[in-house]
Structure formats: C-alpha cells, structure tokens
Structure 1
Amino acid sequence: MNRRDLLQLLLLSAVWGASFILIEITGRSFPPVWVAFLRLSFGAAFLWTVLWMRKRMLPPRRLIVTLLLVAFFNNAAPFCLFALGERTVPSGIAAVLNATTPIWTLLLTLAVQGTRTGRYTIAGVLLGFAGVVTVVLSHGRDAHAAVTRGQFFLGVAFIAIASLGYAIATVIAKARLKGLDPIGLATTQLSLAWLMILPVALFGTHPTAIQPSSVAASVLLGLAGSGLAYLLYYDLLSRISSTHVTAVTYLLPIWGLFWGYVAHEPILWTVYIGVAIVIAGLVLMNKSSAAAPALPRTAVPAEDSVACDAG
C-alpha cells in the first residue's frame, strides 16, 4: 500500500467516523426520521449524479425483493435508529457500538454457513463484546444530568439493533447480490430506502426550529458519509486488497471518539480502554478467517458489491 492509498484510507475512515457527530448535530433540529430522510436525499442525489456521469449500471429488476430487504436493513432502519439512539448516547459511544457490526456479521455468517468456529474467532468475538460492554457500562454509570441511565441504555439498545441491521443486510447481500456494479447498487439502496422513509417523514413529526448548523450537518452527512465515502471505498478496492481496506474497521471507533472530543463530548478514560479491547477483538476475528466480514455498516469486499453505511 503506497502513500496515496494510505492517505485515502485515512480520509475514508475520517469521513465515515464523522458520520456519528453529524447525526447528533442534525438531530438537534430534526426528528430521527427526518435525519434519515435528509441523509438519504443528499446521498442518493450525489450517487445518481455519479451514476449518470460514469454511465454505471443499476441492478436488474428481478432482484427487487432482495434490494428492498437490503435497503431496509442497511439504510432505512439503521439511519433512523442511530438518530434516535444518539439523542441520549454521545456520538463517540455510538461509534464504538457500531464496531459490533462486523461481530454480528461474522456470527450470522457462521450460523448460515454452519461452519466450525476457530479459537481466534471465539476470542475475537468475546474481546469485541467485552470492549463494548466496558465502554457502555462505564459511561452509563456517569451519564450526565440531562439523560437518565434508563434513557442512555435505551439509546444503546437502538444503536445495537441498528448495527445488527447492518449485519443482516451484509449477509443477505453476500448471498444474493454478488457481481453487481457497486455504484449502481449503492444508488439503488439509498433510493429505495428514501422511498421507504418518505411517507413516514411527510406524515410524521415535522421539524420546527431549525438551526443552520443542523442543515449543514445533514448536507455533509448525505454527500460525504453516504456519497463520497462510497467512491473512496470502491476506488481503494480497485487498487488494493479488501484485507488492507479492513483497516477502516479499526479506525472508525477512534475517529468517532476524536470527532466527539472536538465537539466537546465528555469521554471517560475507560472508554479508551474499551476501544483498545474492541480493536484487539476485531484483529483476532480478521486473523481467524480471510472470509470474515471485517468492515462494519460501512462496506464489504467489492466482489460482494454491497456498501453498508457507517452509523
């Protein structure tokens, strides 16, 4: 991996890692469904432009049922759940919780394929979950006055379910959507999810007092987090192996905490220990099997053709 690839990998992880704080800022003015709706709107518009300029192909219509399932589990539901969860959970903690996605994906894949589990896999899964529990429990005991412990743990549950949704989408896509144009698939995912969210946004709760910072964050979240990041990811995969791109998995929680720190979110020292444990678990999981789905809600290898968003 040369210097250009390394810099692009760092840029990709920084962009995806920023998604968590952008969700939180957007949610200051918009209801959770609207956070998802705006993200999908800007992201889909960006990808449709790229699709048209590069003359890329959309997936065949015969795959519509599978595409709808992937759009729901990978975009529509998680985007709403992350926005809902981050009402009471700091963005840095949400980034760490998102790191459970590759763990869930691996467990689901092993269950579907019925393969035996190696010792590295078991150790990696246990370490990963132990790290997440360390982060959640330590922060839950020190929840700030504006949020009760019950509200905090409810938010954690929403984000955990969203991460499981990313894993379900990845497993479905790996089984049913191989060999498709990645940009066409990503465009279809966001567009179908947008259609799912549209009626809920129109007939549900509407935003009232809108802050300019929330509008700017929603634009960045869609254009960068669900648009530019896809292009960076697939451009990287065209030059380096998917094994090297899995480094994004390890960097996302770190970037999530960094952007949270920049936004002056309270971060306990135990959170850093938890993140180190999570990363160690992910390393062991990737060591156990080259087929292990290493990337979170963010992406899977190009040959599997699906991109799973971060946060």
Structure 2
Amino acid sequence: MMNDQKKWIYLIVLSLIWGSSYILIKKGLVGLTPIQLGSVRIIFSTVFLFLIGFRSVLKIKRQEWKWVAVSALCGTFVPVFLFSFAETEIDSSIASILNSLVPLFTIFIGFAVFKVNFSKNQVIGVIIGLLGAVVLIFQGANVNPDQNYFFALLVVVAAICYAINANIVKSKLQEVSPMAIAVGNFAVMVVPAILVLSFSGVFNESTYENKEFQTSLGYIAVLAVFGTGLAKILFNKLIQISNAVFSTSVTYLIPVVGIFWGVLDGEKFTVIHLLASGIILLGVYIVNRNRKKK
C-alpha cells in the first residue's frame, strides 16, 4: 500500500482513538485526581509499550536520546497532566475542539524554531483559528457559569506542546522507527511518573477500596493502551510518511468524535459552540490547503 493511502488510514484511526480520549479522561477523573490520572496513564502505557517493543530502544543512537527526551516531555508528559487538570473544569467536547489548534501552532513553531517557511494565507488561517478558540472559550463560560474556563488555556498550552513534538519528530527523529520513539519516550517518563504518583496519595488503603477509583482505573487502562501507547506509535509513523502539518490535521476529525461522546454524556453544546468550532476548523483548513499547494 502506498504512503498516500496509508497516511489517510492512520489519520482516520487516530481521530477515532484520540477523539474518544477526552471522554475517557472525564470518566477517569471521577475516581482519580488529575495528578493520579496523568501518572497512572503514563505508567500503564509504559508497561504496554515495553511488552510489545522494548528491544526497539536499543536502536536509538546516543545523540538521538536528547530529542527523544524532549519529544517525551512535549508530546506526552506535560500534556497528559494539562488535559487532566483542564477537564476538572471544562467539558470533554470543548477540550477536543480546542485541541484543533495544534496544526496552527505547528506552522509557527516550525518557522520560529525549525526554519520552515509559511505564507501570508497561513498567517490568516492561524488568526482565524485563534479567534474561533476565543469565541469558544467565552461561549463555554457563558453556558457553564459554574465552570472555570481559564482552565481552557491549559488545553491551548498542551496544543503548543503537541506542535513542538510534531516538529521534533519530523526534523530530528526521522530515521528512528515509530516504535523506538514511542518506547523511548516512555522509558524517559516512567520514573518521574512513578515519583509523582507516590506523592499523590494513591497508595492509601482507603483509595484502593473506593469503587469509583477501581472503575476509573479501568477507563485509564483503556486510555493508556489505545489513546496513548498505540496512538503514539501510529502518530510517529504518520509524521514520517507525511509531514508535521498533515499529521496534526488529525485534529480536523477529533472534535467530531469528541463532541459525539460529550453530547451522549449530557454535555451542553450550543449553536455558538458549533460556529466557533467551524471557525477553528476553517483556520486549520486554510493553513493546510496552502501547505498542500506549496
């Protein structure tokens, strides 16, 4: 199968997996704190990836490990905690929509750090996308006055982290296998995650006896295996057979899946929400369309 066909298959599969991640985070937060959720997610993902691909890390060269470590920090470690804290205050569907900003930030970071050129139309697309994000945040605050929508900014920071990671994988780790990058990422993160978890109160006996805690662990186990471990491998492969901007365009489809789960779970979604979502995706489309022409 040609890479042009493969990249679309990867894109669709990733959108289904990551689009479902936000509702799993929401369900996981019922019995876990954000710190516990982020740490457990990393540890579970590490176990899964080590079981299926531990030997792949032996192929990572010494000079590549620093980029693997930066990729781990930006692509997983920081975002998993940011999303966990964000969803204590904002709806999962809103988090999935705001994550659509990733391709926009990918353009700017690619230019500023990795010297990838961008055009006037791409700048316009970025501005449109950011305007949509502002509308979405303010509308969310109006519809849900009991929620603190300043936490939505955490999702924006996470989107910037993802954009940095996409550029790093494309420009610095192109010759490293997707499996090796994924396993190497979690080899770097697992010890810090265990240390963070040990100070979170998760080892108290009363915690284990809590049924909500046990149920939440189940949700996070599914999230770790599919939404973090497997998706990490697929995403790294997608970047290598396409480009950083196309890869982050998975965020076109993620909101569709995220909104579906959110509405199914009783979250409020208004016409203004839909309009703001359309504005963000329009900005992403303009950025991507121009890139494809070039």
Q: What letter corresponds to residue 225 of structure 1 in structure 2? A: G
Q: CA deviation at 1:137?
A: 0.9
Q: CA deviation at 1:286?
A: 0.9
| Matching residue of 1:119 | 120
Q: CA deviation at 1:65?
A: 2.6
Q: CA deviation at 1:236?
A: 6.7
Tell me how far apart the structure 2 counterparts of residues 266 and 76 of structure 1 sit (CA, whole Å). 30
Tell me how far apart the structure 2 counterparts of residues 244 and 77 of structure 1 sit (CA, whole Å). 23
| Matching residue of 1:172 | 168
| Matching residue of 2:197 | 201
| Distance change >3 Å, CA 68–CA 116, structure 1 → 2 | closer
Please, which runs of 5 or more residues in structure 1 have no aligned partner? Answer: 293-311
Tell me how far apart the structure 2 counterparts of residues 204 and 196 of structure 1 sit (CA, whole Å). 13
| Matching residue of 2:18 | 16
| Distance change >3 Å, CA 181–CA 77, structure 1 → 2 | same
Counterpart pick for 2:278 among 276, 279, 286: 276
Q: CA deviation at 1:46?
A: 2.0
Q: CA deviation at 1:109?
A: 1.2
Tell me how far apart the structure 2 counterparts of residues 291 and 200 of structure 1 sit (CA, whole Å). 46
When normalised by structure 1's length, the TM-score is: 0.80
The range that moved more, 276-285 or 81-90, is 276-285
Q: Does 1:76 align with 2:77?
A: yes
Tell me how far apart the structure 1 counterparts of residues 282 and 111 of structure 2 sit (CA, whole Å). 20
Q: Is the 8 A contact 1:254 1:275 kept in 2?
A: no
Q: What letter corresponds to residue 119 of structure 1 in structure 2? A: K
| Matching residue of 1:158 | 154
Please, which runs of 5 or more residues in structure 2 have no aligned partner? Answer: none
| Distance change >3 Å, CA 188–CA 213, structure 1 → 2 | same
SS at 1:289's partner residue?
A: helix
Residues 56-75 of structure 1: pairs in structure 2 closer than 5 A: 58-75=59-76
When normalised by structure 2's length, the TM-score is: 0.85
Number of residue pairs aligned between Structure 1 and Structure 2: 285
Question: RMSD of the TM alignment (CA)?
Answer: 3.0
Q: CA deviation at 1:205?
A: 3.8
Q: Is the 8 A contact 2:137 2:149 kept in 1?
A: no
Residues 18-37 of structure 1: pairs in structure 2 closer than 5 A: 18-37=20-39
Residues 113-151 of structure 1, C-alpha deviations (whole Å, 9 max, x = no match): 456542320221011112111211111112153x3xxx2
| Matching residue of 2:46 | 44
Tell me how far apart the structure 1 counterparts of residues 159 and 237 of structure 2 sit (CA, whole Å). 25
Q: CA deviation at 1:185?
A: 0.5
| Distance change >3 Å, CA 6–CA 172, structure 1 → 2 | closer
| Distance change >3 Å, CA 237–CA 81, structure 1 → 2 | closer
Tell me how far apart the structure 1 counterparts of residues 39 and 261 of structure 2 sit (CA, whole Å). 23
Q: CA deviation at 1:160?
A: 1.6
| Distance change >3 Å, CA 104–CA 86, structure 1 → 2 | same
Q: CA deviation at 1:94?
A: 0.6
| Matching residue of 1:297 | none
Residues 102-117 of structure 1: pairs in structure 2 closer than 5 A: 102-114=103-115, 117=118
Tell me how far apart the structure 2 counterparts of residues 23 and 215 of structure 1 sit (CA, whole Å). 11
| Matching residue of 1:296 | none
| Distance change >3 Å, CA 84–CA 139, structure 1 → 2 | same
Between the two proteins, what is the percent identity of the paired residues? 25
Structure 1 or 2: more helix by fraction: 2
Q: What letter corresponds to residue 178 of structure 1 in structure 2? A: Q
Q: CA deviation at 1:235?
A: 6.9
